[in-house]
Amino acid sequence: MQSPNIWQRSETGGRKMNKFAGYALCVLALGGMLGCDKQPPPPVPADVAPAAPPPVAAPAAAAPTRFTPPAESEIPQNEYGEMVLLGKNIFVNTQQHAKAYVGNGMNCANCHLDNGRKADSAPLWAAYVLYPAYRQKTRQVDTIQSRIQGCFLYSMNGKAPALDSKEMTALVTYHYWLAKGAPTGVKLPGQGYLKVAKPALTPDMARGRGVYENNCAICHGANGEGIKARDEYAFPPLWGKDSFNWGAGMHRVDTAAGFIQANMPYGLGGTLSDQEAWDVALFMNSHERPQDPRFKASVAQTRDTHHDENCLYGRTPEALAASIERTAEAADKAAAKPATEQVEGYSPALSH
């Protein structure tokens, strides 16, 4: 069982913004010995061959065919279909349909584009068939429900709906329906976020700011605050009090770089270079956001327990950039031998 206090907001950590109080201490953590997690392998159930091609794929296709979720018009007109629809509505407009569990200005679909359908945007059809799975970070078998609870706690900076709540049932039903016909226990192409290669140059704040001003500010605002129209966020905030918190997967610079490269600027996905994606991800995640709900005692302790070298929590952008450089060098050396299966953007860290 999940230790219950993982899902509770720390009283001291609350909604306070992390002030980077850990800068001085963070230098000590860079040796890599103090809890900076390496990315463990993806959660693949032990009894399933991960490379099995999906049966939905075209028979003689050489390249793996992308799984296609059912069209919205195929939602059945019955009680089950109503639950699918409620799940979709919660996912797309979480602000309205699951208000009690949300503590910021986000909707689930802000990061899982095309209502959770888009490949390389952590699509729900690919997620659903990967669970339950053992995850090294939690050292237990996690379910799709506990994954969804994590989304609420971190990405939505809110609280986790109970397993038997209507919201949870609806969301799981929507995930399940989108995965209709997908093979269980198989990591489908397009799962998770894109994994973006190490940039040629060390990620840089000044370049990142430039990328932001030229490519992002028109929609997300000059200060990453998002833009509202008639009191609702039309463009979601990238940092600040209404954005995802310091425990969310998107606060990892590698995850954000992958999301941004594939999906941003909105409608122009794939147009930024890998370098630009890393630079702007570093710049975006160097800003303040709501406290990590796992905060205990000090920023340094929280960082050492829960954050690795891709996290700017309690770490300066310069220190992070340097550690990415070192990690990349190490990876280059490792790449000399035959490549092991790459994990596409999947972050099995406890952080969502």
By CB under 8 A, name the binding residues for other proteins: 72, 113-115, 117-118, 214-215, 218-219, 227, 229-230, 232, 234-235, 265-269
Which range in 72-80, 246-254, 290-298, 303-311 contacts ligand HEC by CB under 6 A? 246-254
List the structure tokens of 341: 């299966």
Nearest to 238 by CA among 229, 228, 251, 253: 251
Applying CB under 6 A, among 176, 177, 193, 278 the residue interacting with ligand HEC is 193
Nearest to 154 by CA among 252, 248, 16: 248
Q: What number of CA atoms fall less than 13 Å from residue 66's CA on the CB side? A: 10
Closest separation in Å from C-beta 62 to ligand HEC: 25
> Is the distance from CB of 100 to CB of 94 less than 8 angstroms?
no
Q: Return the beta strands (E) in the chain as ranges.
A: 133-135, 140-142, 227-229, 232-235
Q: What is the contact mask toward ligand HEC in residues 258 to 297, using x (rule: CB under 6 A)? A: -xx---xxxx----x-------x---x-------------
Q: Give the number of other CB atoms < 10 A from CB of residue 187.
A: 21
List the structure tokens of 47: 């009894």
Nearer CB in complex with ligand HEC: 113/182: 113
Q: What number of CA atoms fall less than 13 Å from residue 223's CA on the CB side? A: 6
Closest separation in Å from C-beta 28 to ligand HEC: 27
Q: Does 182 bind ligand HEC (CB under 6 A)?
A: no
> Is the distance from CB of 88 to CB of 115 less than 8 angstroms?
yes
Applying CB under 6 A, among 109, 194, 257, 262 the residue interacting with ligand HEC is 109
Of these partners, ligand HEC, other proteins, none, which one is at the site of residue 333 (CB under 5 to 8 Å by kind)? none
Nearer CB in complex with ligand HEC: 84/127: 127
Q: Give the number of other CB atoms < 10 A from CB of residue 285.
A: 26
Query: Strand, helix or coil at 17?
Result: strand
* Count of residues that bind ligand HEC according to CB under 6 A: 53
> Is the distance from CB of 299 to CB of 20 less than 8 angstroms?
yes
Q: What is the contact mask toward ligand HEC in residues 20 to 59, using x (rule: CB under 6 A)? A: ----------------------------------------
- Amino acid, single-letter form, for residue 271: T
Closest separation in Å from C-beta 189 to ligand HEC: 12
Nearest to 204 by CA among 280, 130, 301, 136: 280
Which range in 26-34, 68-76, 196-204, 252-260 contacts ligand HEC by CB under 6 A? 252-260
Closest separation in Å from C-beta 165 to ligand HEC: 12
> Is the distance from CB of 197 to CB of 274 less than 8 angstroms?
yes
Dist. CA 3–CA 8, nearest whole Å: 10
Of these partners, ligand HEC, other proteins, none, which one is at the site of residue 193 (CB under 5 to 8 Å by kind)? ligand HEC
**Binding positions for ligand HEC, rule: CB under 6 A:** 91, 94, 106, 108-113, 122, 124, 126-127, 130, 147-148, 151-152, 155-156, 171, 191-193, 215-216, 218-220, 235-238, 243-244, 248-250, 255-256, 259-260, 264-267, 272, 280, 284, 345-347, 352
